[in-house]
Structure 1
Amino acid sequence: MSIIKKIDDSFEKIFISLFMITMSIFIFVQVISRYVFGDSVTWTEEASRYLFIWLIFLTIGIGFKENKHISIDIILDLCPPIVQKVMKQVVYLLVFSLSIFFVYEGYILVQQMMVFGQTSANMQIPMWLVYLALPVGFLLTTIRLLQISITLWTNQSEVQD
């Protein structure tokens, strides 16, 4: 069971770390090739952009799981603990609904991109791989929202921070 917990805790973080390291290397290669050798490696800019898109969508769920998203909680702090839980749950349900919508629409978008067969300009990779970040990211977000909703009501502490 501990292996499943480790995978659950670090799944997105592993990919985000790999994408961030790769993106940094690509940007470093681009800068060196442009300013030292006077010629740029064109595919590194495109690859970095696509990795950044994936980074953005993969971090949404982690933000919810670790309670790192920006929030204005002045009114929430004035409420009793049970009202705080209810208000948080309402927000989670609203974001969950929006996430499900984005998973569905993202799936349709990926399907359309597969039919069109569009490829990227420099690397010639299928663009549906780039657009796949939308449904995958929001699918992981829905999973994380379910987890924190369950934790909100099963945790013995008053309110999660």
Structure 2
Amino acid sequence: MKKDSFLGKLVYGYDKLEEYVLCASLVVTTLIIFVQVIMRSVFNSSLTWSEELTRYIFIWQIWMGVSIAQKDKAHIKVEILKSFVKNQKFLAVVDVIATILLIAFNIFLVTSGIDLVQQMITRGNVSSAMRMPMWIVYIVLPLASGIFTLRLIGQVVEDIKGLCGHGSDDNKEVA
């Protein structure tokens, strides 16, 4: 996708926002843990909410990090097929099929995640220490899976364009 198009600028802006939010959450998590260590060591007391909050931030970091890893094409894949098959077109087709299957799985995660969040809202579940509604923790599942699906769709479109000979490496950027 070209960076100078409206959609390209939108994706670029979202990419940067996602990176900044994840970096900021890492700093916040580190500070909370540092304060907790100081509280336990120096003041012989602890914050009742710190471990719970860092756990929930960590869950969000992991799920949102999936999207960033896809942007950079850094997900672990099974590469054994590449050692046996030398036909690059065949491997590209297999990659497209695998990505389509991953899209289907992510759609399942989105729909199941929405159901789970609705159940959490209906039941009124709250966390033990902070009394935070648990749906806030669980909403990351459909949210991150939806974003991941959009990135995967962009990748499939680019990969199919490449297979058909319509893609150019000069102005490609993964959505």
TM-score by length of 2: 0.83
1:116 corresponds to: 123
1:8-43 deviation per Cα after TM superposition (whole angstroms, max 9, x unaligned): 332422221121111111111111111111101121
1:122-157 deviation per Cα after TM superposition (whole angstroms, max 9, x unaligned): 111100000101111101110110111122233334
Q: Which runs of 4+ in 1 moved over 6 A?
A: none
Paired amino acid for 1:145 = L
1:33-90 deviation per Cα after TM superposition (whole angstroms, max 9, x unaligned): 1111110112111100000010111111222221111123242253322112101101
Say which of 146, 150, 156 aligns to 2:168: 156
Matches within 5 A, 1:118-137: 118-137=125-144
Say which of 71, 88, 97 aligns to 1:90: 97
1:18 corresponds to: 24
Say which of 30, 36, 41 aligns to 1:35: 41
Identity across matched positions, percent: 32
1:104 corresponds to: 111
Structure 1 regions of 5+ residues with no counterpart? none
Q: Is the 8 A contact 2:113 2:138 kept in 1?
A: yes
Aligned to 1:42, the other structure's residue is in SS state: coil
**CA separation in 1, counterparts of 2:114 and 2:150?**
17
**CA separation in 2, counterparts of 1:11 and 1:97?**
26
**CA RMSD of the aligned region, Å?**
1.8
- Say which structure is richer in helix: 1
Higher mean C-alpha deviation, range 4-13 or range 96-105: 4-13
Aligned to 1:119, the other structure's residue is in SS state: coil
**CA separation in 1, counterparts of 2:9 and 2:104?**
30
